Amino acid sequence: MLGLYYIRWTGTSEELREYVAKVSEIANGIEGADFKGIFAPTSAWNCVLLFEGTSFENVLQVYKEYMKKYGANPRILVAKFESLFTFEEVNYSR
């Protein structure tokens, strides 16, 4: 499954690099969660962080651990999380 974490960023580019480094470090410590990087979407959002995980819970654990360690980031005005699953991952049969 893929997890897309869209954010509206209000900080500097250096603060964004620091934020991404923290997220990456946390994701690297969680089995089944792989941080793929930060991208510029073609939408109203400033950035999107891309994760690949073996389950929704593993990807969600990255967010939980970040909040536990650092709390809410004041540079993120609003955020949205989107999950992309294959049909096989949700046991969909036709």
pLDDT of 87 reads 84
Mean pLDDT for back-to-back runs of 10 residues, the chain (94 residues) = 96 97 97 97 95 93 96 96 87 74
CATH node for 2-84:
3.30.70.920
Backbone phi and psi for residue 7, each to the nearest 5 degrees, phi listed first: -135, 155
User: What is the pTM (predicted TM-score) of this model?
Assistant: 0.90
pLDDT of 30 reads 97
pLDDT of 75 reads 97
pLDDT of 86 reads 85
pLDDT of 43 reads 92
- On whether the CB atoms of residues 1 and 56 are closer than 8 A, the answer is yes
CA-to-CA distance for 41 and 11, rounded, in angstroms? Answer: 18
